[in-house]
Amino acid sequence: MRKYYYKASERKFNLDWIDDQWLWLFAPELIVEEIPAWTEQEILHICDSLLEDSLKNLFDGRSSMQTLVEIYNWIISMNDRNPFSFNNCCKLSGLDSDVIRETVLNRVNLNNRKLH
């Protein structure tokens, strides 16, 4: 933490002179906002898009190492309870998650061998 000094004397910033009592005279208004439920089509679209974008980014040479690690960990996690886990996205998209996982990991290993 930095301290700032002005002309060899320490100044403290004090806001006690501001009268803020008027802020507490009124109770805050309760805002009720209805959040619409997701439709099945929207959830399927999210799962499809998540799978497609993740696989594209995994094999895109411009992706950062952090992104690659996140996608790789997302793919290899077997017992993830997240509704948008790799297994759930594959299942909702009508794909076999084990086949996709095996294919992707083989391609990742093949790409790593080419780099060395």
| 115 and 68 Cβ atoms separated by less than 8 Å | no
Q: What percent of the chain has pLDDT over 90?
A: 53
Which residues, in sequence order, are bridge partners of residue 6?
9
How far is the C-alpha of 4 from the C-alpha of 12, rounded, in Å? 10
Q: What percent of the chain has pLDDT over 70?
A: 69
pLDDT in tens, 4-30: 444 544 555 555 566 566 556 666 566
How far is the C-alpha of 31 from the C-alpha of 12, rounded, in Å? 39
How many CA atoms does the CB half-sphere of 58 hold within 13 Å?
24
Q: Where are the domains of the chain?
A: 41-115
pLDDT of residue 20: 61
pLDDT in tens, 75-102: 999 988 999 999 999 999 999 999 999 9
